Each structure stands twice: as C-alpha cells, then as structure tokens.
Amino acid sequence: MTPPGADHSTDSYLPRNGNGGYRVLHYDLELDYRVVSNRLAGRANITAQAGQTLSRFSLDLGQFRVSEVRVDGRRATFTHRAGKLRIKPEKAIPYGATFKTEVRYGGTPVPISGPWGDIGWDELTDGVLVASQPNGAPSWFPCNDRLEKATFLVKLTAATPYTVLVTGDLVARRRGAGATTWTYERNEPTAPYLMSVQIGRYEQVELAMGGITQRAAIPPRLRTVFRHDFGRHAQIMSTFERLFGPYPFREYVVVVADDDLDDPVEAQGMAVFGRNHLDGRRTHERLVAHELAHQWFGNSLTVADWRHIWLNEGFATYAEWLWSEASGGPSARACAINWHGRLRAQPAHLTVANPGVGRMFDPAVYKRGALTLHALRDRIGDEPFFGLVRAWTGEHRHSTVTGGQFRAEAQRWSATPLDDLFTAWLDRTALPPL
C-alpha cells in the first residue's frame, strides 16, 4: 500500500514537489492553446512504473479544472487542490507494474508563484514563454515534478500565424482550418522542469553551420542584429565540444522573445533570450555561452537534488570565462581573479555545497562555483582537469548527479588528496584565497 507522504518527494529543498511510490517513464501530451484568450485544454497520458503497491498516488498540477482521470483505461476517483492531483485507481497497482494514467484538464494556465517569482507558463505580449526552473512544470501539464527523467511526446495546436516550439525534435506539423498542430518528440531522458513551450510570431533562421543542427526563432525585425550578436555561435559550440565533450542532443534551438526578459533561461536543447539581450554589440555574448553550457551541465547532467545546484551554475559560469579566453578576451584566470576580488569585498553568507532554498540562485553560488572549478584546475593541471570534465559529462550523460559524485570523480584525476580544496571552497562560508 502507499505509505503516508507519497505526495511528497525526497528533494531536500522542494519536498512538496514530486511524489513517491512510482517512476514516470513517458509523458504523452495533447494540448490545444488559444493565444488570445489564454486558454489551454489538455490530455495527458502518463506511463509509469510502480515502486511499491499503490492503492493511491498523486501528480503535481496547477490551477486547472480536471474533468476526468483514468488509470489503465478505467475511471478513477480523484481530488485536486493545492497543486496536488490525488488519484485512487479502481484496483491497487501491484509493485513493479507498468501503468498508464490519462488526465483530461483545461483552464487558464498561470505560473507557479514562489520565492523566485512566477515560474512556468507565462503570457508574453503576443505569445507564450515557458521557463519552469525549478518547479514550474505543473503550470501546464500534470507530472511527477521531481528531478527524475522521462521521455516526452508533445502535440500542441495553436492558431496558424504562430510558430510553436517545444523542447524536442519536430516530427510532424499538420495545418488545419486556421490552426496548426505541431508534434515534438523528446527521446533523451528529461526532467519535467526542462520541458518548455515557446509560442510567438517568429521567423525561423539558421543559427550556425556545423555538425550539430543549430537554429533560431526570432522576431523578423531583429534579423540583422541577431545575426551579429549570435554570429560566433558556431565557434562557441566547437569550443565547448572540444572542452566538454560531444554536444549531448540532436539540435540546439535559440528563441528570442519579442519581450524584455530579466535573464535568459535554458531548457532541454533550447535557450530563450529577451529582445533586450540583443544590442548589436555582443554585450550579452557571455550569456549566450552560459546558456549553451547548460546543455551539458544542468540538462544532460541534471542535479539529483537542488542543493547541488552549483554543479549547474558553477560550470556554466566557468564556461563564460573559458569562452572569454578562447575568443581573445580576458583569460579564465583573469576572470577568476576579478571575481574573487569582488566576492572578497562582500560579506560571505552561504556555503556553495548547500546554499539553502532561498539562495539557490544567489550570484555567489554561480561565481564561487566557478572559482571552485578554477581552483581545481590550478591544483591538478589543465590536461587532467579537462580530462575530468569530459569524463564527467560522458559517464553521466542524460542522468542525475550529486556533488559527492563530482568530488569522487575529481579525486580519480588527482595525484594528491582534494578534500581540503573542496572543503574550503564548497563547505565553508569564508572565501578561501585564490
């Protein structure tokens, strides 16, 4: 039987997100979205495997009206409140069994509110942006909103003037009377928060030439400035493949929303920028590098618990410094010295290895995480360091990782113990000397 607490996860920072007792294998979503009225109608078919006998189980879902739930084709009783869809199937699901849950739902999608603002499905001036890190996925589909990964098939119908982009490979597009259905497949295991939908009046253009398909969706009037500001993307990709190992997905898509955004956001195989990130001077090119690096660190390798977020943001920030050096700007060492000096002038207020849920996205996590990597590179040398990085991304491709695993992997590449280095940089509040 399902024990108490099955509607909670084991994540130390977001225990109310996610659910126990089963593991999702695949999501099949059929969505119809009306842009003008901001109305979403959906049918989700979720294939899962029971990790114990389930007399009941739950899914995460935002503020929608649920009209019907079926488990293995049979109607199930359910309640839906406070973001939890609690389901009681007609018969208990035995341990180890694979079962399918169908949820029909609809309404006005709204973001999930939390300490970091509104996360998830968000209306643009003329379209939609979905940025779900860390807990926004239930704003548009029922899911087990934890960091475990599954595959996805998403069909989304919207008015024909709009381009629909979903994280995944476009496998079909069918135009009807006034509306077009776009079908995307995500075969690589993906955490729910890394699934994204972008809808707008976009022109699709080539982002860069090369072995990896790199394309973009942009407002047509920004074509010229986009060509300049993203003009070195092929070089960024080739630099990161040399340093980090093969790009982990089949393609990379950049979306430039026709709205201003505070920060760019990454999804699986995708990054989203605001129009304010284009200025014709490549002012924000470091962010272009940062978001691309997340495809290795954060998306292919996804943290198993949010307290390990420095593995995402430290690597992506260090990638900025590596690209600066590779492109003729300040060296990674110069960037490290600069940021070390800036952090030294501020009060030390967190431990990088466990910053706390309220400081997950604190700039110190990003910068001190990058400084940790630079200190490690100084300690073991360039060849072992980049060998470590390529082994790290290769051995854990499309899986979840922890800080402890990284420390153990790093030790394999070092002739001397590294405990003192990691303790000083990650486990203590005080900033060590560089």
CATH number of the domain that residue 392 is part of: 1.10.390.10
Task: Mark whether 264 and 388 lie in a shared domain.
Answer: no
- Is the bond into 161 cis (omega within 30 degrees of 0)? no
What are the pLDDT digits (tens) for 363-385? 999 999 999 999 999 999 999 99
Predicted structure pTM score: 0.96
Task: Mark whether 274 and 336 lie in a shared domain.
Answer: no
Q: Is 280 part of a structural domain of the chain?
A: yes
CATH number of the domain that residue 80 is part of: 2.60.40.1730
Task: Mark whether 211 and 263 lie in a shared domain.
Answer: yes
C-alpha–C-alpha distance, residues 163 and 261, integer Å: 19
C-alpha–C-alpha distance, residues 315 and 161, integer Å: 39
Beta bridge partners of 303: 401
DSSP E strand boundaries for 275-329: 301-303
- Give kind and range of the element (H or E) at residue 281: none
Query: Is pLDDT at 280 greater than 50 in this prediction?
Result: yes
Of 260, 292, 324, the residue at which a domain comes to its end is 292
Q: Is 61 part of a structural domain of the chain?
A: yes
C-alpha–C-alpha distance, residues 267 and 376, integer Å: 28
Residues spanned by the domain of 307: 303-427
Of 292, 321, 341, the residue at which a domain comes to its end is 292
401 phi-psi bin (left φ>0, alpha ψ -120 to 50, beta other): beta
What's the token pair of residue 111?
């973001």
Q: Is 12 part of a structural domain of the chain?
A: no
Q: What is the pLDDT of residue 133?
A: 96
What's the token pair of residue 374?
């630079």
Count the domains in the chain: 3
Give the distance from CA 49 to its chain's centroid.
24
Q: How confident is the model at residue 10 (pLDDT cuts 50, 70, 90)?
A: confident
- Asked whether the beta carbons of 85 and 94 are under 8 A apart, the reply is no
CB-count exposure of residue 385 (10 Å: 0-12, 13-18, 19+): buried
Q: What is the pLDDT of residue 1?
A: 44
C-alpha–C-alpha distance, residues 164 and 154, integer Å: 11
Q: Is 316 part of a structural domain of the chain?
A: yes
C-alpha–C-alpha distance, residues 218 and 224, integer Å: 11
Q: In percent, how much of the chain has pLDDT > 90?
A: 94
Task: Mark whether 87 and 109 lie in a shared domain.
Answer: yes
Selection from 244, 318, 254 nearest residue 286 by Cα? 318
Task: Mark whether 308 and 409 lie in a shared domain.
Answer: yes
CB-count exposure of residue 432 (10 Å: 0-12, 13-18, 19+): middle
Q: What is the pLDDT of residue 72?
A: 98
C-alpha–C-alpha distance, residues 431 and 347, integer Å: 9
Task: Mark whether 46 and 154 lie in a shared domain.
Answer: yes
Q: What is the pLDDT of residue 79?
A: 98
Q: Is 195 part of a structural domain of the chain?
A: no
Task: Mark whether 378 and 271 lie in a shared domain.
Answer: no
Q: Is 15 part of a structural domain of the chain?
A: no
Q: What is the pLDDT of residue 314?
A: 98
Task: Mark whether 173 and 136 lie in a shared domain.
Answer: yes
C-alpha–C-alpha distance, residues 23 and 41, integer Å: 25
Q: Are strands 213-218 and 399-401 parallel, antiparallel or unpaired?
A: unpaired
Q: What is the mean pLDDT of residues 228-235?
A: 97
- Give kind and range of the element (H or E) at residue 222: none
Q: How confident is the model at residue 211 (pLDDT cuts 50, 70, 90)?
A: confident
Q: Is 433 part of a structural domain of the chain?
A: no
CATH number of the domain that residue 211 is part of: 3.30.2010.30
Task: Mark whether 280 and 364 lie in a shared domain.
Answer: no
Task: Mark whether 42 and 155 lie in a shared domain.
Answer: yes
What are the pLDDT digits (tens) for 162-177? 999 999 999 999 999 8
C-alpha–C-alpha distance, residues 130 and 133, integer Å: 9
C-alpha–C-alpha distance, residues 132 and 302, integer Å: 14
Q: What is the pLDDT of residue 215?
A: 97
Query: Is pLDDT at 6 greater than 60 in this prediction?
Result: yes
Q: Is 420 part of a structural domain of the chain?
A: yes
Task: Mark whether 39 and 162 lie in a shared domain.
Answer: yes
* Mean pLDDT of all residues belonging to the chain: 96
Positive or negative, the CA dihedral 27, 394, 302, 366 is negative
Task: Mark whether 273 and 216 lie in a shared domain.
Answer: yes
